[in-house]
Structure 1
Amino acid sequence: MATDTRPRASGRRGLALLTVERPRPQSIRSRPNGWWLAVATVCFGAFMGQLDASIVTLTYGGLRSGFHASLAAVEWVSLAYLLALVALLVPAGRLADAHGRKLLYLYGFAVFTLASAACGFAPSLTALVAFRVVQAAGAAMMQANSVALVTTSAPRERMRSALGVQAAAQALGLALGPTVGGALVATLGWRWVFWVNVPVGVIALVGGHYLLPRTRARTRVTHFDWPGLLLLATATTSALMGVSAASGLPVPGWGVAVLFALAACAGPAFVRRQRRAAAPLLDLALLRVRAVTYGLVGALSGYLVLFGPLVLVPVVLTARGVSELTAGLVLTALPAGFALAATGGDRLLPCGLADRTRCLAGAGVFTLAMAGLLVVPPTVGPLVPLLAVTGLGLGLFTPANNTLIMGAIPARSSGTGGGLVNMTRGLGTALGVALVTLALQLAGTATDAALRAGLRWSAVVLVGASLVAVGAAWAGPRGESPRERAGS
């Protein structure tokens, strides 16, 4: 009696559809500039990630009234997302290097989109926080692979331009977040802040299926390092919660000390685990490469400088009677300058200018702009050009810095490298928000003199971070990376 194998074959085809990366159509692969289509697809994720980061704070008022919750409770909608995202970026990159970056990126967008829809339907604040953690898991799968997909799709000589476009998409999402969020909350309600992700996610999933290239170089993983993941999550979560608590999260002093002590113990334990593990979560050899080490320091400092003013400027201006709308418009000068320099820098600067020189020039520009905060009055007129110049400097610095990092990482580990870059950015973001908030709280905003003092202390923090970025660029590699010389 013959056995009907059609259901079994159909099941195998269904499994392959879920676990095997599909090739792009020949018409896409054969296009001379087809790689730009892959970069454009990745920009959807870059845009949505930053839009979501800057849009959610606009929902706090609606969440407090809708769920009858305190501000401290509502803050967990943002904090839970950030904690989960930073903890999962490196593991997501590691899995992508083993199983396929296109596959993990598309799964990430699917999880992010479904979780966004669930956030919009959340029946309680607890459920919303839980859905935000799931959303962060999807975002980690996207962000860990975004830089890797750009660097493996673009030709070596166009890598910096491609990373600049991706950085500009992030800046655009950051710039539009307050405006879009304010409009959605005012007209349709806070739930639409999450539902707006759904149509974009569907478009990105379809585009990614057809336009993203398959993974060519992979790192074989025999088993997953679960103890390493636990230690990394403990270290990053404790550090971020400690920083947040020190800057105003309602945690007693002994609790802050415990959090920092836990981070100080888990961090070295994670490093020891990675040295001994048969299949480590993070190849520590990557961190011994000069371009990677100093590049990550530069990335952290750059994002601290990027996000610090996003907290500082609205607080300072609104305390002086400026409307929220005007403060938001002033703030757009920073991401607008970022996007302009990130996309147009290659056209304005000499083609042969080294990435290290570009990093130094960009870091020098935003250092001078941040130093200007020490002397200018906290009014609209002086702040707009300072923020625009800061954005221009960051737009020159960030693509060149990312190129140095990713150019020094083997293609087979580009997912892990991308996860490291984005984890460092997340830490820089948290530090920028926390340190500026702490400076403002210590100085106070009740009087004009206190407001000026808060501005000065915040500027000292931002200038210090800028100087660290200058130092990291100066100490970075002075020649091409081995991967660049090999043309891989």
Structure 2
Amino acid sequence: MSTDRPAPAAPSLGTRLLDSRLLAEHPRPRGVAGWRHAHWLAVGTVCLGAFLGQLTASITALVLPALSHRFGAGLATVEWVALAYLLVLVALLAPIGRLSDLVGRKTMYLWGFAVFALASLGAGFAGSLGVLIACRAVQAVGGAMMQANSVALVARGVPGRAMCGALGIQAAAQGLGLALGPTLGGLLVQHASWRWAFWINVPIGVLGILAGWFLLPRTHPEGRPDAPAAREGRFDLAGLLLLAGASAALLLALSAASGLPLPGWAAAALVLTAGVLAVALARQEQRADRPIIAPGLVATPGIRAGLAVALLGYLLLFCPLVLGPMTLAEAGVPVARAGLVITLLPAAFALAATVGGRLMPHRSDSTRCRRGAGTAGAGLALLALLPPGEVSSVLLLPVIGYGLGLLLPANNALVMRAIPARSSAVGGGMVNMVRSLGTALGTALPVLGVHLAGPVSGGRLVLLVLALLALTAVVLSGPGAGVRRT
């Protein structure tokens, strides 16, 4: 009788990858891990990623005119340097978040820095607009790897009593990156080259890798992933592809209306495609095991209104960052000084977002939302009515930023409190998605307005539209919209 036994099956490619040294999580040095304040070192490392993500968003918005001049392309084409990044980010946040549970969040975060830094290096060397857009898409892969894991790493490494303070520090790092972007972008474009707007990310990325390796705790006890995390239902790949397709078709249609050289029938087909894919997405999410957009949550009035306000808020935040360099250049303001002026908006946003609760200590979050949206809307309306130029921008951009700094953190708090604890992951993913979509629309709308009516008249038109959208946010933030009050 034969005693031969079948040879064990060869490990799959996925298993070999998970067991590889490249994906194994390494522990911190004992001296770091044993220090009672080590969690603040981990928070500082996460803040590097938060800073880098917002820096690249705001600095790219400012260099679009320089890229248009360098490559001889219209703004409707050049804006895809920003839009490609945002579309990839929307598509990858959800799957990378789930993959991180399998591979390890520390590992994914460190690889995010590496991908981001290498893609930034390539973007700076790009010899054509197509190569630059492709590098930006790869850069977004690294950005998604960092953004999908940042809050989870803070939650993993910080004791409960320090959690609120740690998240506040992370928000401040985001605000700092957002505020420094226009100033750095203006200085680099005027005194060096647009290429440095991308190369500046490389040393920050290298610093993030080194800091993360030594200062972040392992997210798996033995440094290796847990297989059960991969088996919690089938990932909604169809929903993800429909969302990315609908978003891309809509933004391409807006770019066609903004001057992208496409025939009229192609623009109409893009609008129709976006509508069809949106309907298919709604149906897909009704039957998916783990939908990326949970219909039950979206149907809740308070959550639905809060997600709409989040989209509007980030549209209102990024639209002036893209529009400002165009209108100030038309008024004869040098690009470096224009960057300093535009910095006033994100600086005021960061200040209000960080200390907004102290500024209005006895007000509910819904009241902060309404007052913040109303303040931003008033500033946008006045900016549209006053003569365009440096003086009006210096006076009113801080008002707009202050209002948005009150609105967005308070709205995020309302949304997350309204989402049941069992759905916090998918709810947080939806907030990230609408935030990225709002940023994308905020990039596309100014280009459309300037194309249709020129920098001055088009700028006024865009600002008036933004003021109306801010008023819409006021209405959506009211008790009649179903937002839970605190």
Report the TM range for the smaller structure's normalisation: 0.7 to 0.9
Q: Does 1:184 align with 2:188?
A: yes
C-alpha spacing 1:308/1:176, structure 2 compared with 1 (3 Å): same
Q: Which residue of the other structure, out of 364, 372, 377, is the alignment partner of 1:367?
A: 377
Q: Which of 392, 397, 411 is equivalent to 2:407? A: 397
> Which secondary structure state, in structure 1, belongs to the residue aligned with residue 333 of structure 2?
coil
Helix, strand or coil: the match of 1:373?
helix
Take 2:61 and 2:377, find their aligned partners in 1: how far apart are those partners? 28
1:102 Cα deviation (Å)? 3.7
Task: Quote the offset at 1:391 in angstroms.
Answer: 1.0
Equivalent positions of 1:447-466 (< 5 A) are 451=456, 453-466=457-470
Letter of the 2:253 partner, please give it.
Answer: G
1:374: how far off?
4.2
Q: Aligned partners of 1:374 and 1:358: how far apart in 2?
A: 24
Q: Could you tell me which residue of structure 2 aligns to residue 5 of structure 1?
A: none
Q: Distance in 1 between matches of 2:375 and 2:156?
A: 30
Shift of 1:370: 2.0
Matched, 1:284 2:290: no
Is 1:141 matched with 2:148?
no
Q: CA deviation at 1:224?
A: 3.5
Moved more, 197-206 or 334-343: 197-206
Q: Verify the 8 A CA contact 1:117 1:194 in the aligned structure 2.
A: yes
Instruction: Please say if 1:196 is aligned against 2:196.
Output: no
Equivalent residue, structure 1, for 2:312: 301
Could you say which residue in structure 1 is the equivalent of 2:272? 261
In the aligned structure 2, how far is the partner of 1:223 from the partner of 1:299? 28
Output the amino acid matched with 1:462: L
Cα distance in 2, alignment partners of residues 82 and 22 from structure 1: 31
Q: Which residue of 1 aligns with 2:476?
A: 472
Of the structure 1 ranges 414-423 and 264-273, higher mean CA displacement relative to structure 2 is found in 414-423
User: What does 1:58-207 correspond to in 2, within 5 Å?
Assistant: 74-96=78-100, 99-122=103-126, 124-150=128-154, 162-186=166-190, 188-207=192-211
Change (3 A) 1:76 1:305: closer
1:355-409 residue CA offsets vs partner (Å, 9 max, x unmatched)? 2232223222212222322443323223222111111111122222222333444
Distance 1:155 1:402 in 2: 22
Deviation, 1:286, is 3.6
> Aligned letter for 2:377?
T
Q: Distance in 2 between matches of 1:24 and 1:290?
A: 45
1:48 CA displacement: 1.3
Tell which deviates more after alignment, 310-319 or 56-65: 56-65
Structure 1 counterpart of 2:365? 355
Which residue does the alignment assign to 1:486? none
Contact 2:255–2:444 under 8 Å retained in 1: yes
Cα offset, 1:253, TM superposition: 2.4
Q: Which stretch of structure 1 is more off in the superposition, 261-270 or 115-124?
A: 115-124
Question: Taking structure 1 as reference, are residues 223 and 146 closer, same or farther at Cα in structure 2, changes over 3 Å only?
Answer: same
> What is the CA distance between 1:143 and its match in structure 2?
2.1
Aligned AA (1:199): P
Change (3 A) 1:56 1:440: closer
Work out the CA distance in 1 between the residues paired with 2:189 and 2:324. 22
| Superposed CA RMSD | 3.6
One-letter amino acid of the structure 2 residue matched with residue 394 of structure 1:
L
* TM-fit CA distance, 1:462: 0.9
Alignment partner, residue 273 of structure 1 = 284
Match of 2:345 in 1: 334
Unaligned runs of 5+ in 2: 1-10, 221-225
Is residue 2:421 matched to residue 1:421? no
Q: Contact 2:414/2:484 (CA < 8 Å) preserved in 1?
A: no
Deviation at 1:469, TM superposition (A): 1.8
- 1:14 and 1:230 map into 2 onto residues whose CA distance is 26
SS of structure 2 residue aligned to 1:365: helix
Change (3 A) 1:357 1:68: closer
CA-CA distance at 1:36 after TM superposition: 4.4
Matched-pair identity in %: 53
Residues 66 and 276 of structure 1, relative CA distance in 2, 3 Å threshold: same
SS at match of 1:261: helix
Q: Is the contact between residue 96 and residue 415 of structure 1 (CA under 8 Å) also seen in structure 2?
A: no
Cα deviation per residue 1:181-202 (whole Å; 9 max; x = unaligned)?
3433455544433232122112
Residue pairs, 1:438-449, within 5 angstroms: 438-445=448-455
Cross-structure match for 1:433: 443
